[in-house]
Amino acid sequence: MKNTSYKYLIALILAGGLSSCRKNLLDSVPNDRVSSNIFWKTESDALLADNALYTDLDGTNIFTWDALSDIAHTNQNFDTQAFIELGTYDIANAKIYNEWSAAYTGIQATNYFLENIDKVSSTNTTLINRFKGEAKVLRAYQYIKLAGFFGDVPLVTKTLTIAEGQQVTRTPVSQVWDFVDKELSDAAALLPASYAAADKGRITSGAAWALKARADLWAGRYQLAADAATQVKGYTLYSSYQNLFKYAAENNSEVILDKQFLKDSYSNGVFALLAPYSQKNAQSYYVPTKTLVDAYETSAGKNINDAGSGFDPYHPYDNRDPRLRFSVYVDGDILPSGIAFKPAPGSGTADAIGSTYIASTTGYNIKKYINTEDYANPSNSGINIILLRYAEVLLTLAEAKIELNQIDQSVYDAINTVRNGRSDVKLPNIPTGLTQEQLRQIVRHERTVELAFEGLHLFDIRRWKTAETVMTGPVYGITYADAGNKLVTVQVVSFNRVFDKSRHYLWPIPQKETNLNPNLKQNPNW
């Protein structure tokens, strides 16, 4: 699918262009679209339309969500998104509107697809049903996000006229979760477990079950989440965490759902977005925080503040959980250009804190997805963006069973597999005989460090109801030794996070939407 997903764009343009050659202008088909009178005829039409649905999956915007949590930060204080961190945003915030709009664009596309797919003349019911299953999963994906962001949202399952769109009301979030749960169960029955190489990247039955597990976990339906997680078959952890987000590992055994890109044809700008400023003026838009870096254990499996942990504040990145240096650029790391990353103030490098407003204000940069192959053209990356992988499923199973107090060996196995199931991540097993609360904290820790910068942590701190604690106060960065060998911790200048628990657990319904449709009642205290 990597090489074919977006060829539909060319096909549609050609179809429209050919129609303009007709002599009778009044009978011609508009050349900026494909008429439904000539489309929806063949299996090829269905394939092109199905491919188009994947373009509405999230890509590099997943990094923005983590930058609204405690583990990352929006690097430029004047960015619209930074106002959400500061707690000064309102119903007119562009970031909030864009997320709402993008999700419903995807929903509208899948609704239209499902209303028209049966017009296709085909005796291959397995293929048509597969297309339907893919569309159902893609629609459910959007609703999972919307429920996590906004709570009650309009549950729209058909294409709407403008007049109808101005009359819809918000559906209770419990009913949205009901819909998602059933939709994904139904889709799983229509989808194959795997595909041939030419169709790698398409949605499988495993993706439907894995998304169902995510949705049920977020909804607090822990038994359903655990049951769905056990249905995810045929996936394993990739052998190397360090290489998991590199080109050579694309479509590996751990990836369940991703957004597929292709350099030169359908690219993304992840390198330019996240890499340190010294790398051809990359933008460092979203940067890790001290909160995340300090969360990585030592190689002995201890918190850095525990007695006997082996942590050395003068060499803070030595003898740590390997996932730290695989996920975050820290002092001394070699960058794609071949130079060393030196972010300390006064280091004299382009990455020094304060050298420019674009350099990381915390002294850390995201390393996931930053590949040497993209250095020559940072805005033309073809790396796939992973949206769901098997490690998440294992941690979902563990968390759901912990919340149910169904603590058995499968809980320990799931967590320990994530901690030491790869050739380059070998942390000690967690001790046995732990209490429910102890295991709860461990699985939350593992989700935080294992899945950092994968777009999940914002939703986690909301459902755990910890945002009111972790999203307040200053943002801190690196701790470094100054000229007098005194340890100094960087604090982001003029930035103080605020989280109002009476309203910030849900985003407001965007003002543009409530202006068009007063039936969309606003969330509490907005």
In a domain? residue 171: yes
d(CA 131, CA 169): 29
Regarding whether 273 and 169 lie in a shared domain, the answer is no
Q: Give domain status of residue 411, yes or no.
A: no
227 and 148 part of one domain: yes
Per-residue pLDDT, 83: 97
- What range does the domain containing 231 cover? 53-258+506-516
Residue 13: what pLDDT? 30
The closest of 243, 237, 258, 240 to 390, measured between CA atoms, is 237
Domain identity same for 240 and 279: no
346: in domain: yes
C-alpha closest to that of 157 among 173, 181, 139, 175? 139
Domain termination residue (choose one: 383, 402, 433): 383
- DSSP 8-state assignment for residue 173: H
Domain limit, last residue, from 383, 400, 426: 383
Tell me: do 316 and 203 sit in the same domain. no
DSSP state of 54: G
Domain final residue pick, 383, 416, 439: 383
Q: Are residues 3 and 108 in the same domain?
A: no
Is 386 within 8 Å of 258 (Cβ atoms)? Answer: yes
Task: Read off the tokens for 211.
Answer: 């998304």
> In this structure, is residue 523 part of a structural domain?
no
DSSP secondary structure, 290-311, as one string: HHHHHHSPBTTS--TTSTT---
- Check whether residue 161 and residue 309 sit in a common domain: no
Q: From first to last of the 526 residues of the chain, give the pLDDT tens digit.
A: 664 433 333 233 323 333 333 333 334 444 555 566 789 999 999 999 999 999 999 999 999 999 999 999 999 999 999 999 999 999 999 999 999 999 999 999 999 999 999 999 999 999 999 999 999 999 999 999 999 999 999 999 999 999 999 999 999 999 999 999 999 999 999 999 999 999 999 999 999 999 999 999 999 999 999 999 999 999 999 999 999 999 999 999 999 999 999 999 999 999 999 999 999 999 999 999 999 999 999 999 999 999 999 999 999 999 999 999 999 999 999 999 999 999 999 999 999 999 999 999 999 999 999 999 999 999 999 999 999 999 999 999 999 999 999 999 999 999 999 999 999 999 999 999 999 999 999 999 999 999 999 999 999 999 999 999 999 999 999 999 999 999 999 999 999 999 999 999 999 999 999 999 999 999 999 9
Predicted confidence at residue 1, as pLDDT, reads: 63
Based on the domain organization, do 248 and 212 belong to the same domain? Answer: yes
Count of domains observed in the chain: 3
Return the closest-CA partner of residue 17 out of 7, 9, 50: 9
Query: Are the CB atoms for 329 and 286 separated by under 8 Å?
Result: no
| 305 part of a folded domain | yes
Q: How far apart are the first and last CA of the chain?
A: 43
Do 245 and 304 fall within a single domain?
Answer: no
Q: In this structure, what CATH number is given to the domain that contains residue 132?
A: 1.25.40.390
Per-residue tokens: 156:
């729209």
**Is the same domain home to 5 and 127?**
no
Residue 247 and residue 153 share a domain:
yes
Give dist(CA 412, CA 431) in Å, integer.
9
Local structure of residue 481 (DSSP, 8 states): E
Confirm whether 525 is domain-assigned: no
Residue 366 in any domain: the answer is: yes
In eight-state DSSP terms, residue 497 is E
How high is the pLDDT of residue 27?
A: 41
CA–CA separation, 425 and 420 (whole Å)? 5
User: Distance between CA atoms of 207 and 192, rounded to whole angstroms?
Assistant: 10
- Residue 38: per-residue pLDDT: 81
Torsion of CA 289, 294, 299, 300, to 10 degrees: -160
3-class SS of residue 510: coil
**Residue 151 DSSP label:** S
Domain shared by 335 and 214, yes or no: no
Q: Does residue 30 lie within any of the structural domains?
A: yes
